[in-house]
Every structure is written in C-alpha cells, then in structure tokens.
C-alpha cells in the first residue's frame, strides 16, 4: 500500500534530498571555480588598466618636462640672438664704415712682431715732422 508515511517512500524522499544536495554542492564547486577564474581575470584587467593609467601619467609628466626644457632652450636662443645683435651694433658703432682690414699673413717675412712694431712707432715719433 502506498502512503506518504510509508518507510520506502520516506527512504526514497531522503535519497532524493541527498542526491539533490550533492548535485547542488557539485554545481556550487564548479560555479565557485568558474567565479574564481572570472574574479582573477577581473583583477588582471584592473591591474592592466591601472598600469596603463600609470604609464599614461608618466608619459604626460615626461612630455610636460620636455616641453619645459625645450622652452628654456628657446629662451636661451632668443637671449643669444639678442646678445649677438647688441655686439654687432657695438662693433658697427666703433667701425668707420669701411671694409675690414686685411690681416697680414703670419708666415710672410715682412710681418712684424709686437716688439718690432713698437720700435717702428717709437722711431717715427722721434723724427721731426
């Protein structure tokens, strides 16, 4: 006779609950492994994003520093150009406007050294005019 309180039915129900519980535990273990794998991938992605962000920030800082250094170089160039123009103006003010004098060749036999030139000047100053 069949009844909900019959021992065979109770045994069957108990076995069914145990089997369902075992299936659920196995499913949880598989899901746990899959979720752990997914969590590891998410952590790796976050690390990659953080590394990329750090690299971008470093590149930005380097580019800013380079730009500043290039700006300093350009400022120095402008200062040199200004100094060169000032020197050219000063040299032009001291010039009589004529062409530059030819420099004597140092290897020519007629060139004088400083002592010889001083002697020639002194002799010229002693002669009556």
- Render pLDDT for 49-97 as a digit per residue (tens, 0 to 9): 989 999 999 999 999 999 999 999 999 999 999 999 988 888 877 776 6
> Mean pLDDT of all residues in the chain?
79
pLDDT at 129 exceeding the cut of 80: no
Residues contacting residue 111 through CB under 8 Å, at least 6 positions apart: 104, 105
Cα 10 from Cα 59, distance rounded (Å): 72
If one compares 7 and 69, the residue with the highest pLDDT of the two is: 69
The answer to whether 104 and 111 are in contact (CB under 8 A) is yes
In which region does residue 103 sit, left (phi positive, over 0), alpha (psi from -120 to 50) or beta (all else)? beta
Give the CA distances from residue 88 to residues 50, 76, 84, 121, in Å, rounded to whole numbers and listed in that order.
Answer: 57, 18, 6, 31
What confidence tier does 1 reach under pLDDT thresholds 50, 70, 90? very low
pLDDT value at position 63?
95
């Amino acid at each position: 006779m069949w009844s909900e309180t019959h021992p065979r039915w109770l045994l069957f129900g108990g076995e069914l609950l145990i089997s369902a519980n075992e299936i659920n535990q196995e499913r949880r273990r598989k899901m746990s492994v899959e979720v752990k794998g997914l969590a590891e991938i998410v952590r790796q992605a976050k690390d990659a994003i953080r590394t990329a962000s750090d690299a971008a920030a470093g590149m930005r800082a380097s580019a800013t520093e380079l730009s500043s250094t290039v700006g300093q170089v350009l400022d120095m160039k402008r200062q040199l150009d200004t100094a060169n123009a000032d020197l050219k103006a000063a040299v032009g003010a001291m010039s009589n406007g004529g062409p530059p004098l030819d420099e004597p060749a140092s290897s020519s036999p007629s060139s004088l050294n400083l002592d010889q030139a001083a002697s020639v000047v002194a002799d010229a100053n002693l002669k009556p005019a």
